[in-house]
Amino acid sequence: MVENAQYLDANASFDHALEAAWQIVRDKLKSEVGEAEYGTWLRQIVLGPLEDDELTLFLPSRFLRDWVRSQYEERLKSLWRTEYPKVQHIELLVRRGMAESTSDTQSSPNTDSTAAAGEQGASDVPPEVRSDLAAPLDSRFTFDSFVVGKPNEFAYACARRVAEKPSSPGFNPLFLYGGVGLGKTHLMHAIGSELTKTGNVSVAYMSAEKFMYRFIAAIRSQSTMEFKEQLRSVDVLMIDDLQFLIGKDNTQEEFFHTFNALVDAGRQIIVSADKSPSDLSGLEDRLRTRLGCGMVADIHATTFELRISILEAKAKASGTTVPAKVLEYLAHKITTNVRELEGALNRLIAHADLVGRPVTLDSTQDVLKDMLKAHDRRVTIEEIQRKVAEHWNIRLTDMSSARRARAVARPRQVAMFLAKQLTSRSLPEIGRKFGNRDHTTVMHAVNRVAELMEQDPSFAEDVELLRRMLEG
Ligand code: ADP
Ligand code: MG
C-alpha cells in the first residue's frame, strides 16, 4: 500500500480505477493462495503504469520476479482481465531498493552469507524449505525400468557401479550430463533407491535449485551450521541440474565446501548437469576442476533404436497392445525427449482404454494431432537456414550456393538435417530449397550429420542447441 502510494505519487497520471482494481486483484489472490504464500511471494508486488493494454508490475529482486512469473503470472493476468479488462497483458519488472529493504531488515551470522542472501533475495524463501533435507526418491525410477542402449550405456554402467560400490576413487564424484529428458534424474533416483534398499546408507537427493533455497533459508534462520552439518552427515549426496548454480556465486561456494568436506570424508557425490564440467562456463574454475576429477559420463541424444526399445518396454509395462507401426511412428516423430515420447504413448493408451478400441496408426495420428503439430511446428526451412548460417557465421546465400568448402558444406548439411527433423517437407522438397539439390544429397546430409553427432559430442551439442532454439 505504502509502496503503491509512493510510486503513484511520483507518477502524474494517478489512476484511481486502476488502483481500486489492484486492491481487488490482491484480495482475491490473497484469498486464493492464503496469507502465508501471499506474504512470501506476492505482497511485494508494486503497481506500475498501464500503457495501452499492458500493465507493469514491479518486484524488488530478479529472483522474486522469476518466481512470480513462473508461478503466478497466468493467474495474475486472468484476474486482471476479469477485474479490469483494460489490462490484457502484464509485464513483470525488477525495481531494486523498494519494498524489500523497508519490509525486512536482514541479519546474518556472518558477512559471507549476507552477500549470498542479498544477491539472491533471501526473504523470498518459503518457510517449508526449512524442513527436511532431501527430496523423496521417485520409486518408478529404478535400474530395472531404465532401458539401456548405445547412447546411455556408459552412463548406466557408471550409475550401476556407484550404486554397488559407492565412493570408489575413480567414481567420485560421478558427473552425469546430457540434454533435457534423457534420463539423468532417472539414473540418480535409481542409484538412490538401490543404495537405500540395503538400509544403512543415508542418501540425500536434491535439485541444485533446492540446494540454493535451503542454503538461503538457513542463512535467514541463522542455522547455517545445522544445514552444513546435516549435509555433511550423509553418505551419498546427489545434486541434480547443477547448471542452475551458474551465476549464483555464494551458493556455489557453499556447494564447493560441502563437496570437498564430503569427498574428503570418503562420501559419494553424484551431480547432474546439462553440459560437461568443462563446458559449464559460469561455474568457478576450481569447482569445475573438482567436478571433472571423478567419472564424467554423458548421455547422448537418443537413437531411433533406443526410442523404439523404450517405447516397447513402456507399452509392455502398461499391458496394452500397441502395434509396432505405431511405435515406429512415434519414434520417428518425437525425437528429442524421452519424457515427451512417454507422454505421447501414455496418451494413446489412456485414449484406447477410454473408448475401448485398440490403438491403431489412424487413432494415433488423431489423438496426438496437437502434440505432433507442435513438433512439426511452423518452423520453416528459411528459418532453419537463417539460424544455422548465423550460428556458424556463414552467408545465408551459401545455403543454396554450390560451394563445397567444409566450412559451408557442413552447416548446410546440418540445416538439411534439421529441415528433415523439424518440418514435414519431403527430401526432394528440402533439396529444392537448398539450391535445387537432389534428394539423395539431402539424404546423405541427414545420415552424415546423425553419424557425426554420434562421434563428436560437441558437434552434437551444437545441433541440439540449434534444434532447441528453432523449436522455441
Ligand atoms: P532428465 O533428468 O535427463 O531431464 P529424466 O530422468 O527426468 O530426464 O527422464 C525423463 C523421463 O523419461 C522420465 O520419465 C524417465 O523415466 C524417462 N526416461 C528417460 N530415459 C529413459 C530410459 N533410457 N529408459 C526408460 N525411461 C527413460
Ligand atoms: Mg532431470
- Closest-CA residue, ligand 1 atom 19, reads 183
CA distance linking residue 420 with residue 442, whole number of Å: 9
With cell 490482491, the residue in question is: 26
Task: Kindly identify the ligand whose nearest atom is closest to the C-alpha of 186.
Answer: 1
- Closest-CA residue, ligand 1 atom 26, reads 146
Q: Are 146 and 156 in contact (CB under 8 A)?
A: yes
Q: Give this prediction's pTM.
A: 0.60
Task: Kindly identify the ligand whose nearest atom is closest to the C-alpha of 206.
Answer: 2
Which DSSP letter does residue 300 get? P
Distance 228 CA to ligand 1 centre (A): 31
Prior bond to 173 cis, omega within 30? yes
- Closest-CA residue, ligand 1 atom 6, reads 183
Summarised one tens digit per residue, pLDDT across range 267-302 is 999 999 999 999 998 899 999 999 999 999 999 999
Which SS3 state, helix, strand or coil, does residue 426 take? coil
Which SS3 state, helix, strand or coil, does residue 249 take? helix
Q: Which atom of ligand 1 is found nearest the CA of 299?
A: 3
Task: Kindly identify the ligand whose nearest atom is closest to the C-alpha of 241.
Answer: 2
Summarised one tens digit per residue, pLDDT across range 343-384 is 999 999 988 988 889 999 999 988 888 777 766 556 889 999
Looking at 7-11, 50-54, 135-139, which range is the least confident one? 7-11
Distance of CA 340 to the CA centre of its chain: 13
Distance 183 CA to ligand 1 centre (A): 3
Distance of CA 395 to the CA centre of its chain: 32
What is the length of the chain?
Answer: 472
Q: Are 338 and 302 in contact (CB under 8 A)?
A: yes
Summarised one tens digit per residue, pLDDT across range 76-131 is 999 999 889 999 999 998 876 553 333 333 333 333 334 444 444 434 444 333 33
- Closest-CA residue, ligand 1 atom 23, reads 147
Give the model's pLDDT for residue 13: 46
CA distance linking residue 359 with residue 365, whole number of Å: 10
- Closest-CA residue, ligand 1 atom 25, reads 146
Q: Are 153 and 173 in contact (CB under 8 A)?
A: no
Q: Are 167 and 264 in contact (CB under 8 A)?
A: no
Distance 181 CA to ligand 1 centre (A): 5
Distance 418 CA to ligand 1 centre (A): 23
- Amino acid residing at 470: L
- Closest-CA residue, ligand 1 atom 13, reads 339
Output the DSSP codes for 115-166: HHHHHHTGGG--GGGGS-SSPPPPTT--STTPPP-GGGHHHHHHHHHHHHST
Residue ranges around ligand 1 (CB below 6 Å): 141, 145-147, 152, 178, 180-186, 310, 338-339, 342
C-alpha torsion sign, points 213, 215, 219, 224? positive
